[in-house]
């Protein structure tokens, strides 16, 4: 540690020499870290010694078939709702930005309605759609002609109701993100596209949207994660996702805390995994934004390992 | 200067490629173009000079309908721009028809406006493949020829952020040329460039002029106007103050306002 200081041959140091300054002392960092560690240790201790938690039960239920089925359904609902709602959001944002007053008003109304009412209320409403319309039919309005008719509850199952509620609600939020992204693109881009003879639709999809993606993706990552967690709200209409499965089990064995721990572990795991694709998407749509692309996590890991080995090599060379 | 015959000296009546007739344009209450009438013959280079706010850029943007006009008519190759006329009535055009008209009119912007998410060659091939339906191979081949012509054959796979301003502007010129336009509009193409990069861009424009491209250039480069221009138009306050032969307008302006402007620019 002290070798760089003692080996410094002070009088002959040239002006071009490397700066080897003694680091500034920062005692408060050490003190605050120690306090924090103590608090965390106390909390962990209170959990570990708590007789109300049966730890083996957490391990037992973590890979229970019902829990795994719940995890699967949660993922399916999240991905499906996210994909469909994103497409819908692009459509709604395009409508809102269009010069057509009918489309932009319709888009505004949609966002107003779906963003202005609680998600929980929307979920229950979709779940109870059968109470509002007992049958859904396709026909000619104001006549008796009916081409197709179905019992509402057989078409809108709990899964479908949950999917619709999550998707339609999310589309309202995402559309504002997409719109903000579109507004962030320089007006000159539209003019350049128009001057090359591109139509408004072509300009939107090929020139403006890809550039807007750079701004859109980070907040969409947020939306994806809140979507994943919001699937737990579907327990109110008995969709058998992760949280519903866990509460069904705990209502029988009364191990509420243990099953909540299982659920939390799974949600944490899934949200961690879901932030990986975001990184790669940001990289992909960041093309051209800066002169060099940031390294992928893999490249970064390799660089870090290379860094670790380098100082030891130089240390070996020195003596 | 490089062309053999100045069109104005030929006896045969040449039909102007661009006809601007009594054009008026207002932004709110402010009238930026007041009854502008101007013709541009095929193969000619017209330079629009004037102080900022004189309406020259607005006039240029009206020619490809990036701005709509409030009065008058603009014809490019006998095609009424932005509107359809039937008898006495004028109809608004569908955006797709306007897009079709714009394919014949290339435009180069002050701030280049290259598509930042596409490489130099993708910038050039995007419109020919996506708008004209050209096969990708043909479009790439043509794009390489154009890049070579503007001296950037080695930079095809670079993104705009990796190019200097002068290189970006030359890619932008190649991009506009890829649509085989009949007319090229330049909106202060060198104003955003570092002084040492201006020359390369002007060289490309000169060679384009010598190959017979019809060009309308909004510029402050008096030297370019004098050397490459067939016609110089001096605008101020939304009107054409003076127009004519570059040597005459620049060296011996008839109007005080032109004189004052030329002096201030050459200082």
pLDDT digits (tens, 9 = 90+) for A105-125: 999 999 999 999 999 999 999
State the Cα–Cα distance between residues A291 and B161, nearest whole angstrom. Answer: 6
For chain B, report the end-to-end CA distance as a whole number of angstroms.
25
- The residue ranking higher by pLDDT, B158 or B87, is B158
Instruction: Give the pLDDT score at B11.
Output: 52
Instruction: Inform me whether the C-beta atom of residue A153 falls under 8 Å from chain B C-beta atoms.
Output: no
Instruction: Give the pLDDT score at A313.
Output: 43
Residue by residue, DSSP assigns chain A as --HHHHH--GGG--TTS---PPPPP-HHHHHHHHHHHHHHHHHHHHHHT-TT--HHHHHHHHT-HHHHHHHHHHHHHHHHHHHHHHHHHHHHHHHHHSS-HHHHHHHHHHHHHHHHS-HHHHHHHHHTHHHH-SEEEEE-TTSS-EEEEEEHHHHS-HHHHHHHHHHHHHHHHHHHHHHHHHHHS-HHHHHHHHHTT--HHHIIIIIIHHHHHHHHHHHHHHHHHHHHHHGGGGGGGT--SHHHHHHHHHHHH--HHHHHHHHHHHHHHHHHHHHHHHHHHHHHHTTTTSSSPPPPHHHHHHHHHHHHHHHHHHHHH--
What confidence tens digit (pLDDT) does each residue in A258-278 have?
999 999 999 999 999 988 888
Mean pLDDT of A56-83: 95
The answer, as to whether pTM is greater than 0.90, is no
What confidence tens digit (pLDDT) does each residue in A162-200 have?
999 999 999 999 999 999 999 999 999 999 999 999 999
Q: Which of B95, B116, B176 sits opposite A199 (nearest CB)?
A: B95
- Is residue A292 very low, low, confident or very high in pLDDT (cuts 50, 70, 90)? low
Cβ–Cβ below 8 Å for A195 and B64? yes
- Is residue A3 very low, low, confident or very high in pLDDT (cuts 50, 70, 90)? very low
Instruction: Give the pLDDT score at A81.
Output: 97
B67–chain A nearest CA distance, Å: 10
Instruction: Give the pLDDT score at B4.
Output: 47
Instruction: Inform me whether the C-beta atom of residue A210 falls under 8 Å from chain B C-beta atoms.
Output: yes
Instruction: Give the pLDDT score at A151.
Output: 86
What confidence tens digit (pLDDT) does each residue in B103-136 have?
999 999 999 999 999 999 999 999 999 999 999 9
In chain A, % of residues over pLDDT 90: 65
Mean pLDDT of A233-252: 94
Instruction: Give the pLDDT score at B19.
Output: 96
- The residue ranking higher by pLDDT, A74 or A14, is A74
What confidence tens digit (pLDDT) does each residue in A211-232 have?
999 999 999 999 999 999 999 9
A280–chain B nearest CA distance, Å: 16
Residue A306 pLDDT greater than 80, yes or no: no
Instruction: Give the pLDDT score at A13.
Output: 54
Chain B contact set for A181 (CB, 8 A): none
Residues 121..160 of B with a Cβ closer than 8 Å to A: which?
Answer: 126-127, 130-132, 159-160
B56–chain A nearest CA distance, Å: 17
Instruction: Give the pLDDT score at B49.
Output: 95
- Please give the mean pLDDT across all residues of chain A: 88
- Is residue B24 very low, low, confident or very high in pLDDT (cuts 50, 70, 90)? very high
Chain A contact set for B175 (CB, 8 A): 196
What confidence tens digit (pLDDT) does each residue in B138-193 have?
999 999 999 999 999 999 999 999 999 999 999 999 999 999 999 999 999 999 99
């Amino acid at each position: 540690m002290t070798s760089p200081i003692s080996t410094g041959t002070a009088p002959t140091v040239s002006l071009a020499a490397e700066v080897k300054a003694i680091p500034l002392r920062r005692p408060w960092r050490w003190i605050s870290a120690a306090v924090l560690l103590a608090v965390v240790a106390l909390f962990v201790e209170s959990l570990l010694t708590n007789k109300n938690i049966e730890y083996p039960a957490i391990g037992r239920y973590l890979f229970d078939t019902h829990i795994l089925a719940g995890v699967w359904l949660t993922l399916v609902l999240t991905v499906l709702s996210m994909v469909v709602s994103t497409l819908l959001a692009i459509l709604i944002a395009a409508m809102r930005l269009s010069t057509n007053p009918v489309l932009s008003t319709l888009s505004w109304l949609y966002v107003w309605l779906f963003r202005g009412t609680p998600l929980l209320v929307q979920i229950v409403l979709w779940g109870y759609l059968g109470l509002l319309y007992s049958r859904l039919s396709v026909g000619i309005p104001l006549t008796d002609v009916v081409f197709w008719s179905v019992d509402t509850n057989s078409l809108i199952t709990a899964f479908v109701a949950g999917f619709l509620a999550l998707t339609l609600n999310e589309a309202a939020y995402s559309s504002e993100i997409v719109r903000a992204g579109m507004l962030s693109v320089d007006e000159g881009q539209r003019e350049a596209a128009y001057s090359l003879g591109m139509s408004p639709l072509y300009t939107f999809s090929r020139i403006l949207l890809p550039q807007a993606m750079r701004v859109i993706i980070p907040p969409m990552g947020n939306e994806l994660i809140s979507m994943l967690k919001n699937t737990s709200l579907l327990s109110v209409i008995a969709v058998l996702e992760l949280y519903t499965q866990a509460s069904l089990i705990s209502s029988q064995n009364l191990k509420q805390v243990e099953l909540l721990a299982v659920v939390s572990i799974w949600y944490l795991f899934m949200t961690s995994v879901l932030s990986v694709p975001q990184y790669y998407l940001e990289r992909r749509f960041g093309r051209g934004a800066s002169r060099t692309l940031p390294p992928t996590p893999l490249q970064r890991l390799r660089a870090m390992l290379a860094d670790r080995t380098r100082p030891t090599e130089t240390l070996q060379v020195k003596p | 200067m490089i062309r053999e015959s100045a069109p104005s000296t030929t006896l045969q009546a040449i039909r102007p490629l661009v006809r601007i007739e009594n054009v008026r344009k207002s932004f709110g209450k402010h009238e930026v173009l007041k009854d502008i009438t101007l013709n541009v013959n095929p193969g000619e280079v017209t330079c629009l000079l004037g102080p900022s706010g004189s309406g020259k850029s607005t006039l240029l943007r009206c020619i490809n309908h990036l701005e709509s006009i409030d009065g008058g008519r603009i014809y490019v190759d006998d095609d009424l721009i932005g509107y359809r006329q039937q008898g006495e009535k004028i109809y608004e055009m569908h955006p797709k028809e306007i897009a079709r008209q714009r394919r014949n009119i290339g435009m180069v912007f002050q701030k280049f406006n290259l598509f930042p998410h596409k490489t130099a060659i993708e910038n050039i091939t995007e419109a020919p493949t996506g708008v004209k339906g050209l096969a990708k191979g043909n479009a790439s081949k043509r794009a390489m020829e154009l890049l070579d012509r503007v001296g950037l054959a080695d930079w095809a796979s670079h993104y705009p952020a990796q190019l200097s301003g002068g290189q970006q502007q030359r890619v932008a010129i190649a991009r506009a040329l890829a649509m085989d336009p009949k007319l090229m509009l330049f909106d202060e193409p060198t104003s955003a460039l570092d002084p040492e990069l201006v020359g390369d861009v002007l060289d490309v424009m000169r060679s384009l002029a010598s190959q017979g491209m019809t060009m309308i250039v909004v510029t402050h480069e008096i030297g370019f106007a004098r050397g490459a221009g067939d016609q110089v138009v001096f605008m101020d306050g939304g009107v054409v103050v003076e127009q004519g032969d570059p040597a005459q307008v620049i060296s011996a302006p008839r109007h005080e306002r032109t004189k004052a402007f030329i002096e201030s620019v050459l200082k």
